[in-house]
Amino acid sequence: MNKAIAVIGAGNGGAAIAAYLASQGASVHLCDLFPQYIEGIRKNGGIELCLNGTEEFRPLAMVTADACEAIRGTALIMVVTPSFTHRMIAEKIAGALEDGQVVVLNPGRTCGALDFLNGLRENGCTADVVIAETQTLIYSCRRIGESRVEIYGVKKEVDIAAFPADRTDEVLALLHPYYPQFKPVSSCLVTSLSNIGALFHPTPVLLNIGRIETDKNGFLHYIEGISPAVARLIHRIDLERMAVAKAYGADILSAEEWLKKSYDTYGGDLYELLQHNEAYQEIKGAHSIDVRYVTEDVPMSLVPISELGHIAGVDVQNIDAVILLLSSIYDRDFRAEGRNAARLGVRGLSREEVIGFLQSGKKAE
């Protein structure tokens, strides 16, 4: 197997990762399941990369809408797409994966690696592959026009874990020549339960739903949408997330700790930290209720946190309330369609069995 790298997803993050890897001498196969997103890149044969004040064209070895073609002969497969597409991608590539290949979800959101692997197995994949997930995307970036991408910032450290956890070193061996910023953590429970979007996205939409539907002038998601009262509920949800992490032995940051570590902000509580965060000042709220802050973050983030909580006997009543209310408002069963215990392959397991499964990839007999 050669050292070619497949990148699946040609949006902001995928284009940035593909162009950067090409700049480092990798043979990059870029794929997007929706051909219209790669047409300009395909015609130009590559991507114009803007990084650190310089702009340079980076040719790609392959640009295709055929995921199986893209991954053929590659050692590393970087999936850089929203979490709701992970199952779709798993279905597409299940029959083409080979022993020894590594798939990295950038990011996995909550329990992405488990969901992806179960998607592979359900579609007949028997290859010995490793699925890893990152806690967040390594770049702050934006794709501009047909074939240009600008990287505004690169995170100094990004947590990563493999499923099974005892194979994380295999993943790092492939990534570190390009991305030494990836830092191993104990298991996917750390990367999954560190998903801050699960806190900051669905609840403000729920509590501003009338405003979203009627206020034609719009509002600022963090600065106006997260009032002191809204912040108190988010804090309660965060306490439940932290309790779930503690039950599984996962060491994660609270929302307040994460804000202080990630941004130049200050304050005595969650509300003040959000209000004083310059990076959040101009982020606008949703213009309609058809927004990924709910349709992705509830089934793919809140639901698996809740399911893990129920397995461990942790009280997650506020998380459950948000899932229930948004399911009713949207007339959808987000728990049934989301990353529930059955879909993750952990239904019927105890807390201890889940921990062991994530470590070794094997279920107790």
pLDDT of res. 361: 86
SS (H, E, C) the chain: CCCCEEEECCCHHHHHHHHHHHHCCCCEEEECCCHHHCHHHHHHCEEEEEECCEEEEEECCEEECCHHHHHCCCCEEEECCCHHHHHHHHHHHCCCCCCCCEEEECCCCCCHHHHHHHHHHHCCCCCCCEEEEECCCCEEEEEECCCEEEEEEECCCEEEEEECHHHHHHHHHHHCCCCCCEEECCCHHHHHHCCCHHHHCHHHHHHCHHHHHHCCCCCECCCCCCCHHHHHHHHHHHHHHHHHHHHCCCCCCCHHHHHHHHCCCCCCCHHHHHHCCHHHCCCECCCCCCCHHHHCHHHHHHHHHHHHHHHHCCCCHHHHHHHHHHHHHHCCCHHHHCCCHHHHCCCCCCHHHHHHHHHHCCCCC
Q: Which residues carry out catalysis?
A: 201, 297
What six digits make up the tokens of 203? 């609840």
Spatial distance between the Cα atoms of 57 and 161, rounded to a whole number of angstroms:
32
CATH superfamily of 197-360: N-(1-d-carboxylethyl)-l-norvaline Dehydrogenase; domain 2 (1.10.1040.10)
Low-confidence ranges of the chain (pLDDT < 70): 1-2, 364-365
- Contacts of residue 356, defined as CB under 8 A and 6 or more positions apart, other chains included, come to 362, 363, 364
> Using an 8 Å Cβ cutoff, are 165 and 355 in contact?
no
Amino acid 363: pLDDT: 79
pLDDT at residue 96 in the model: 97
pLDDT at 55: 95
How confident is the model at residue 198, as a pLDDT? 95
- pLDDT for 156: 87
Q: Span 5-193: which CATH code?
A: 3.40.50.720
What residues does each domain of the chain span?
A: 5-193, 197-360
Tens digits of residue pLDDT in 258-316: 999 888 899 999 999 999 999 899 999 999 999 999 999 999 999 999 999 999 999 99
* Residue 53: predicted pLDDT: 87
Closest residue by Cα to residue 74 from 171, 9, 3, 177: 3
